[in-house]
C-alpha cells in the first residue's frame, strides 16, 4: 500500500479512492501516456508525454531541450503526474447525474533527470517494449547522438493515489420514473490493423497481430506445391502482377484492380475483416520458386458451430492446373477438420461460374442448393450463388482423392 498523504487524501467520494500498489501499477502499465504537471517561473505547465513503470519508479520521456527536463537538473523538479483510462460514458435520466467510468492515478513528487547510462538505457528499452513486447530486439537501437538528444525523468512512486468509478447509473429515486434512456456505453482503446510505411517489404511481425482464437489465426501452411502465409500489404506488388489477367477476375466479387493501389485496397479490406474476426486471409506462394501467385481465405468463421467457409480465392493464370489450387484446398481442409475440429466446411460460387463449380465438386464437396439474388456483382447485376459443403465424416475420403490427384503433379515436378 502507498501511505495516504495530505495531497493524496480525497475530500469527497472517498469510496472511490485506493492506495493499493497493485491496482496503481495496473493502471500505469495499461496507459500509454500521461500528463506531466510542473511550474516554470511561477506559471503552471502541463505536458503530455510517454511513460513506463519499472518497479516503484515512473520514467517519463522527453527532449533534453524541453523546459521540464532543463528544470529537473540539480535538485530535481516538483511534479504532479496524472494518468486516466476512460472505461465508459454513463447516461442518467437527469443531466446532473451523467458521469463516466474511469481508472486514474495521480502521483506527486520530485522528478530527477536520469544521468546513469545503464538506467537510462533500461528505461528507454522498457518504453519500446511497452508499445510491443519484443520490439526492442526488432528495431535499430538509438545512436549516441539520439541518446544525447533524449532525456528521461525518474519519479519515485511514493505519494500516489488511485481513483476508480465503475458500475452503472446512480441517480435520485425521484428521477427513476422519467421516460429517458439510461445506461452505460463502454469505451475501450483498441488497435486497428497495422498500416506499413511506404517501402516496407517485411510482413507485420507476430507481436503486432492481435491474439486470436486458433480459428482466426492465419497459421503458415506448407505443401510440396504451395505455401500459405498470412496476407500482408507487403505482398501487394507481387500479387497485383501475378493476377493481372482479366480471366482471373471474371466471376469474382470485386472488379479487377487497374494498378497496385487497387490491389492494396483489396488487401486492406481483407486485413480489416480479419481484424474484426470475420475472415482469415492467406497469400499463396509457389513452393518451388517462392513467387506470390494468389490469395485465399477462411470466412464466415463460426467456432461455436464449428463451421467455416473457404473462398475469396484467386490465382494467377500461369498457375492454373499446376496442383497449387488443389494442394491449397487440401491444406485448408486439413487445417479446418484436423487442427480446428470443424464439423462443416462451406464454399460459395457464382451460378455462372461452371469451372469453379466443377473444381469444388472435384474436392468432394456436396452441392446443397442455390442462394437466389445472393450478392451484387461488380457490374451491378444480381448473382445467384451455388452453395457446397463438406462435413467431417466425408473428409477422409476427400483427403485420399485429393492426395491421389496431386501425385501426377508431384511426378512432373520431379
For the residues of 332-382, what is the DSSP string, one character each? HHHIIIIIS--SEEEEEEETT-HHHHHHHHHTT-EEEEEEEEEEE-TTSPE
Residue 88 and residue 28 in one domain: yes
7 domain residue, yes or no? no
36 domain residue, yes or no? yes
Sole residue written with cell 511497452: 130
pLDDT of residue 408 exceeding 90, the answer is no
pTM metric for this prediction: 0.67
166 domain residue, yes or no? yes
Residues in the chain: 414
- Whether the CB-CB separation of 238 and 292 falls below 8 Å is answered with yes
Give the neighbor-by-neighbor strand order of the sheet with 382-391. Answer: 221-222, 226-230, 279-286, 292-302, 307-315, 344-350, 382-391, 366-376
Residue 70 and residue 160 in one domain: yes
Range of the structural domain that residue 21 is part of: 14-170+178-186
Residue 133 and residue 261 in one domain: no
Residue 253 and residue 392 in one domain: yes
Average of per-residue pLDDT across 54-64: 89
Residue 125 and residue 215 in one domain: no
**What's CA 155's distance to the chain center, in Å?**
32
> What are 220-249's pLDDT values in tens digits?
999 999 999 999 998 999 999 999 999 999
CATH code of the domain containing 22: 2.30.110.10
- Strand 292-302 to 57-63 pairing: unpaired
Closest CA to 333 of 321, 344, 320, 322: 344
- Backbone dihedral angles phi then psi of residue 345, each to the nearest 5 degrees: -125, 135
- Determine the Cα–Cα distance for residues 68 and 62; give it in Å rounded to an integer: 9
> What are 291-339's pLDDT values in tens digits?
999 999 999 999 999 999 999 999 999 999 899 999 999 999 999 999 9
- Backbone dihedral angles phi then psi of residue 70, each to the nearest 5 degrees: -65, -40
Residue 286 and residue 376 in one domain: yes
| Helix 324-334 / helix 395-413 crossing angle, nearest 10 deg | 140
Residue 164 and residue 254 in one domain: no
- Whether the CB-CB separation of 33 and 49 falls below 8 Å is answered with yes
- Whether the CB-CB separation of 279 and 295 falls below 8 Å is answered with no
Q: What is the pLDDT of residue 204?
A: 84
Residue 140 and residue 218 in one domain: no
Residue 227 and residue 162 in one domain: no
Average pLDDT, the chain: 91
How many separate domains does the chain show?
2
Closest CA to 112 of 36, 59, 41: 59
Residue 231 and residue 360 in one domain: yes
Sort 99 into a burial class: Cβ within 10 Å, 0-12 / 13-18 / 19+: middle
Closest CA to 263 of 304, 221, 286, 294: 294
Tell me the three state secondary structure of residue 188. coil
CA atoms within 13 A on the CB side of 320: 11
Residue 159 and residue 228 in one domain: no
Which of the four pLDDT bands, split at 50, 70 and 90, describes residue 194?
A: confident
**Residue 31 gets which letter from DSSP?**
-
Residue 111 and residue 250 in one domain: no
- Strand 344-350 to 382-391 pairing: antiparallel
The string over 142-168, giving b where at least 16 C-beta atoms fall within 10 Å of a residue's C-beta and e elsewhere, is beeeebeebbbbbbebebbbbbbbeee
pLDDT of residue 96 exceeding 50, the answer is yes
Average of per-residue pLDDT across 159-179: 93
Beta bridge mates, 366 = 389
Amino acid at each position: 500500500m502507498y501511505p495516504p498523504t495530505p495531497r493524496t487524501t480525497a475530500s469527497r467520494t472517498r469510496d472511490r479512492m485506493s492506495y493499493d500498489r497493485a491496482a496503481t501499477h495496473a493502471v500505469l502499465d495499461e496507459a500509454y501516456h500521461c500528463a506531466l504537471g510542473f511550474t516554470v517561473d511561477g506559471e503552471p505547465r502541463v505536458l503530455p508525454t510517454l511513460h513506463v513503470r519499472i518497479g516503484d519508479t515512473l520514467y517519463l520521456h522527453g527532449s533534453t531541450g524541453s523546459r521540464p527536463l532543463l528544470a529537473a537538473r540539480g535538485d530535481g523538479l516538483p511534479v504532479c503526474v496524472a494518468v486516466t483510462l476512460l472505461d465508459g460514458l454513463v447516461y442518467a435520466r437527469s443531466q446532473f447525474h451523467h458521469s463516466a467510468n474511469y481508472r486514474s492515478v495521480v502521483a506527486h513528487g520530485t522528478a530527477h533527470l536520469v544521468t546513469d547510462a545503464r538506467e537510462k538505457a533500461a528505461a528507454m528499452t522498457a518504453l519500446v517494449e511497452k508499445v510491443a513486447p519484443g520490439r526492442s530486439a526488432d528495431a535499430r537501437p538509438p545512436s549516441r547522438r539520439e541518446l544525447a538528444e533524449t532525456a528521461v525523468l525518474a519519479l519515485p512512486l511514493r505519494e500516489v493515489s488511485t481513483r476508480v468509478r465503475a458500475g452503472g447509473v446512480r441517480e435520485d429515486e425521484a428521477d427513476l420514473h422519467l421516460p429517458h434512456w439510461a445506461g452505460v456505453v463502454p469505451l475501450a482503446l483498441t488497435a486497428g490493423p497495422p498500416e506499413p510505411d511506404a517501402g516496407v517489404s517485411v510482413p507485420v511481425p507476430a507481436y503486432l497481430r492481435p491474439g486470436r482464437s486458433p480459428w482466426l489465426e492465419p497459421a503458415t501452411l506448407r505443401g510440396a506445391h504451395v505455401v500459405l502465409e498470412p496476407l500482408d500489404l507487403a505482398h501487394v506488388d507481387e500479387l497485383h502482377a501475378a493476377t493481372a489477367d482479366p480471366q482471373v477476375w471474371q466471376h469474382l466479387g470485386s472488379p479487377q484492380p487497374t494498378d497496385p493501389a487497387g490491389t492494396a485496397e483489396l488487401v486492406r479490406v481483407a486485413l480489416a475483416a480479419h481484424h474484426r474476426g470475420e475472415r482469415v486471409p492467406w497469400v499463396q506462394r509457389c513452393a518451388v520458386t517462392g513467387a506470390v501467385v494468389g490469395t485465399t481465405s477462411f470466412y464466415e468463421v463460426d467456432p461455436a458451430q464449428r463451421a467455416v467457409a473457404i473462398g475469396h480465392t484467386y490465382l494467377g493464370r500461369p498457375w492454373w492446373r499446376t496442383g497449387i489450387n488443389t494442394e491449397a484446398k487440401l491444406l485448408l481442409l486439413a487445417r479446418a477438420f484436423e487442427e480446428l475440429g470443424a464439423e462443416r466446411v462451406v464454399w460459395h460460387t457464382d451460378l455462372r461460374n461452371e469451372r469453379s463449380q466443377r473444381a469444388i465438386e472435384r474436392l468432394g464437396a456436396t452441392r446443397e442448393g442455390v442462394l437466389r439474388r445472393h450478392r451484387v456483382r461488380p457490374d451491378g447485376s444480381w448473382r445467384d450463388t451455388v452453395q457446397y459443403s463438406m462435413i467431417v465424416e466425408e473428409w477422409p475420403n476427400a483427403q485420399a482423392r485429393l492426395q491421389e490427384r496431386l501425385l501426377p503433379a508431384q511426378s512432373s515436378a520431379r
